[in-house]
Amino acid sequence: MLPYLKEISGKITQSEIWKSVFRHGYEDTPRNRVLQILSNIWLHIHPATINKNSINISFTWCLGGLTFFVFLFETLTGVLLMFYYTPDVNKAYADMLDLSNNAAPFGRLLRNTHRWAGHAMVITVCFHMLRVFLTGSYKAPRQFNWAVGVVLLVLTLLLSFTGYLLPWDQLGYWAITVGTNMAGNTPLVGYQGPFAQPLGFTIDNDIRFALLGGTSIQAPALLRAYVWHCIALPSLAGGLMMLHFWRTRKDGFSGRL
């Protein structure tokens, strides 16, 4: 490096402003390797050192981390899609066409990636579960975290399912019809389910009605799917992910010692 450049960069990295932001150097020293993790808000979810066998690719296949990454990716693309999409039966489909025709910059890519990554997340979360099962990683003391993981799997399916209606096309409309008709058959609380009639549940006050905001899939159902998809379910999943990751740290990583 030219001497004067070195001098300038030295001055910058020694300045009060620089040092107030970056707490340590970037030289590859054991101390910096540890600080890299401990002093970084995003990375300090990791321990500073880790059992070598816990991080073999052929042990984890990176599936849990990948699922979380896809969730973040879906959050980002989802928020961008929210700028263009209106959850209104008269506008939703037209917004989809606009996105597909790139009326919004990168609209088509945005919609495609959000859709395919949603499917990918269902796959990665399923295979993460299979991996955790096959390595017996749910065994004591990690039983509870497995149960949290099962809830996260269900939330992932519901996240994808609620997104299905939003394009307001024939595919989503009839898929959601099939799904919510099943809800109408829930024992006790679905109007077509066993034992629901004696309890006073009818088509306009049962669990299906609560999901759809009506007796059929109309504007309120679209709005409900939108709110569940964009706010309620991601918040729930986000909260449980914090618990899931925290417990992973507290219970210790599995992997033969």
**Residues 50-79 close enough to bind other proteins by CB under 8 A:** 50-53, 55, 57, 59, 62, 65-66, 69-70, 73
In whole angstroms, give the CA distance from residue 93 to residue 115.
15
Q: Does 257 bind other proteins (CB under 8 A)?
A: yes
Task: Select from 9, 11, 15, 43 the one that contacts other proteins (CB under 8 A).
Answer: 43
Q: Does 3 bind other proteins (CB under 8 A)?
A: no
Residue 179 or 213: the one with the smaller Cβ distance to other proteins is: 179
Residues within window 141-160 making contact with other proteins, judged by CB under 8 A: 142-143, 146-147, 150-151, 153-154, 157, 160
Task: Select from 12, 76, 103, 130 the one that contacts other proteins (CB under 8 A).
Answer: 130
Q: Supply the DSSP string of 93-158, one letter for each residue.
A: HHHHHHHHTTSSTTHHHHHHHHHHHHHHHHHHHHHHHHHHHHTTTTSTT-HHHHHHHHHHHHHHHH
Residues within window 195-254 making contact with other proteins, judged by CB under 8 A: 195, 216-218, 254
Task: Select from 84, 88, 108, 240 the one that contacts other proteins (CB under 8 A).
Answer: 108
Within 13 Å of residue 55, how many CA atoms lie on the same side as its CB? 6
Q: Does 86 bind other proteins (CB under 8 A)?
A: no
Sign of CA dihedral 87, 93, 99, 104: negative
Q: Total number of residues binding other proteins (CB under 8 A)? A: 94
* Residues 111, 169 contacting (CB under 8 angstroms): no
Q: Does 11 bind other proteins (CB under 8 A)?
A: no
Least Å distance, CB 209 to other proteins, is: 16
Q: Does 105 bind other proteins (CB under 8 A)?
A: no
SS3 222: helix
- Stretch touching other proteins by CB under 8 A, among 2-10, 13-21, 128-136, 234-242: 128-136
Q: Where does residue 206 fall: left (phi above 0), alpha (psi -120 to 50 degrees), or beta otherwise?
A: beta
Task: Select from 8, 12, 91, 194 the one that contacts other proteins (CB under 8 A).
Answer: 194
- What phi, psi does 186 have (nearest 5°)? -60, 130
Residue 120 or 232: the one with the smaller Cβ distance to other proteins is: 120
Query: Burial code of 225-236, b = ≥16 C-beta within 10 A, e = fewer?
Result: bbebbbeebbeb
Residue 8 or 82: the one with the smaller Cβ distance to other proteins is: 82
